[in-house]
């Protein structure tokens, strides 16, 4: 087994796969380390706050995947000692009702973070709903103020999934300065903020998307590939520079030959594992880290709003 490039990553969170080149990164183990640091933060601020930090989650409609994500977010929030409140609205709700609910949560002194699970059902304007969030409670980091702060490198709440990608990259490779990163996908939730977050780590970042010409050639230059384009198995092993880190953000449901459906990422895992040095599985890689970063953002929002100074859980797990 090759030695680990960065001592912060332990053998328990990188599973060696016999016969394959890449080591598979265990996102659940990495997320558990962050959750433990968040739980410590919750314990520290609760007495001064005089109440338990609280995450409010808004779920509109019956999308089974969204319902599952929300259940996991609430379960993990409660596991680190937070309170959670869930608001479920039917798919035919009108936009004003959602925005009125958010305004109420914005002014509720007992709520520290608000998350509106996306996408919203057809006919609702997700972007407008997100903009109605109080930026100090926007624990997804999607409001204009937080997105602008990310562009400017100013203080603000950073989006969860791309923060989770950077965390996994730092935990696996250590200092990312000078690394070449190719991000595939230009979404507001992942691709665009991931580009800026890796740039803030002094990486050289190329943002690509479904219309980019000769994607395989561009990918082959990358030390780190972040696949977030929503195309099952798009990224092949032949696109990967030997030894590179592959972070698969995709979660796509596809029909299997046996009539069942299963979840696959944007990376063709079987071929990529042969070329990559490190690879995240999908599911089980980035997904757990997204929730860990949501909890980091919520405890930070609770402490900032109360004027408290709580140690950053990410810095506790991964000191610079």
Structure tokens at 65: 């995947």
Distance from C-alpha of 117 to C-alpha of 295, rounded to nearest angstrom: 15
Q: How far apart are CA 48 and CA 242, in angstroms?
A: 51
* Residue 185 burial (C-beta neighbours within 10 Å; 0-12, 13-18, 19+): buried
Peptide bond into 283 cis (omega under 30): yes
Smallest gap from Cβ 105 to ligand GUN, in A, equals 14
221 as an active site residue: the answer is no
Determine which helix (DSSP H) or strand (DSSP E) holds 16, and give its type and residue range: strand 14-16
In the bound state, the residue with its beta carbon closest to ligand GUN is 118
Which is it for strands 113-116 and 54-60: parallel, antiparallel or unpaired? parallel
Q: What is the distance between the alpha carbons of residues 57 and 88, in angstroms, rounded to a whole number?
A: 8
Choose the catalytic residue: 13, 26, 35, 73.
73
Beta-bridge mates of residue 261:
255
**Distance in Å from the first CA to the final CA of the chain:** 26
Which is the catalytic residue, given 117, 179, 248, 268?
Answer: 117
Query: Is residue 92 annotated as part of the catalytic site, yes or no?
Result: no
Q: Min. distance of Cβ 259 from ligand GUN in angstroms?
A: 27
Smaller CB separation from ligand GUN, 32 or 188: 188
For this structure, is 117 an active site residue? Answer: yes
> Residue 260 CB, nearest distance to ligand GUN (Å)?
23
The CB density around residue 8, as the number of other CB atoms within 10 Å, is 15
| Phi, psi values for residue 304, rounded to 5° | -65, -45
Among 140, 248, 266, 268, which one carries the catalytic annotation?
Answer: 140
Name the site residues for ligand GUN (rule: CB under 6 A).
Answer: 115-118, 140, 160-161, 189, 290
**Between residues 116 and 314, which has the closer beta carbon with respect to ligand GUN?**
116
Rounded to a whole number of angstroms, the minimum distance from the CB of residue 258 to ligand GUN is: 28
Query: At its nearest, how many Å lie between ligand GUN and the CB of residue 70?
Result: 9
User: Of 173 and 184, which has the nearer Cβ to ligand GUN?
Assistant: 184
Q: Which is nearer to ligand GUN, 195 or 275 (CB)?
A: 195
Nearer to ligand GUN, 189 or 207 (CB): 189
Exposed / middle / buried, residue 154 (Cβ in 10 Å: 0-12, 13-18, 19+): exposed
List the catalytic residues.
73, 117, 140
């Amino acid at each position: 087994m090759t030695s680990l490039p960065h001592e912060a990553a332990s053998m328990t969170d990188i599973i060696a796969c016999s016969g394959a080149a890449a080591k598979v990164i265990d996102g659940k183990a990495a997320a558990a380390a962050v959750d433990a640091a968040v739980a410590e933060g919750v314990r520290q601020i609760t007495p001064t706050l005089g109440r338990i930090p609280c995450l409010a989650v808004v779920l509109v409609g019956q999308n089974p995947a969204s319902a599952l994500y929300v259940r996991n977010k609430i379960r993990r929030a409660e596991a680190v000692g937070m309170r959670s409140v869930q608001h479920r609205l039917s798919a035919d709700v009108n936009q004003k009702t959602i925005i009125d609910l958010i305004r109420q949560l914005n002014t509720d002194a007992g709520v520290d973070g608000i998350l509106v699970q996306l996408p919203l059902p057809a006919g609702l304007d997700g972007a407008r709903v997100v903009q109605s969030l109080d930026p100090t409670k926007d624990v997804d980091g999607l409001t204009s103020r937080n997105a602008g702060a990310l562009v400017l490198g100013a203080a603000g709440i950073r989006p969860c999934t791309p923060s989770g990608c950077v965390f996994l990259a730092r935990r696996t490779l250590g200092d990312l300065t000078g690394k070449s990163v190719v991000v595939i996908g230009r979404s507001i939730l992942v691709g665009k903020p991931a580009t800026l977050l890796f740039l803030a780590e002094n990486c050289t970042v190329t943002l690509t998307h479904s219309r980019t010409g000769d994607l395989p050639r561009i990918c082959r230059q990358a030390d780190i590939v972040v696949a977030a384009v929503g195309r099952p198995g798009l990224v092949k092993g032949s696109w990967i520079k030997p030894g590179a880190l592959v972070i698969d953000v995709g979660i796509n449901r596809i029909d299997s030959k046996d009539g069942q459906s299963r979840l696959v990422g944007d990376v063709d895992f079987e071929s990529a594992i042969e070329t990559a040095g490190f690879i995240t599985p999908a599911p089980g890689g980035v997904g757990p880290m997204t929730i860990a970063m949501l909890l980091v953002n919520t405890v930070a929002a609770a402490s900032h709003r109360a004027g408290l100074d709580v140690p950053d859980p990410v810095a506790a797990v991964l000191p610079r």
